Amino acid sequence: MITGEQVKAARKLLKWPQMTLSIEADVSLPTLVAFEKGQKLTRETTVAKIRKTLEKAGVEFIAGEIPRLKAHARRA
């Protein structure tokens, strides 16, 4: 599972403000803010939506590491 810190780092890679991720992932802004601050979300589906949205935008998550842009996304 991804962490709030990884989500925040992924957003920064994409240069997305929290509002953009909130809209794109269809997750409320307060929920996203709380998750990035380290609060555990009770719904795994919410975390999955956030992850799927970031991966679709070109972010790659590797367990225990800082997220990075996929190779093809870096060329864009």
Number of domain units in the chain: 1
Tens-binned pLDDT, residue by residue, of the chain (76 aa): 899 999 999 999 999 999 999 999 999 999 999 999 999 887 999 999 999 999 999 999 988 788 999 876 543 3
How many Cβ atoms from other residues are within 10 Å of residue 56's Cβ? 10
- The H or E element containing residue 69 is strand 68-69
Q: Residue 62 sits in which domain range?
A: 4-75
DSSP secondary-structure letter at 20? H
pLDDT score, position 71: 72
Residues forming beta bridges with residue 59, ordered by sequence position: 69
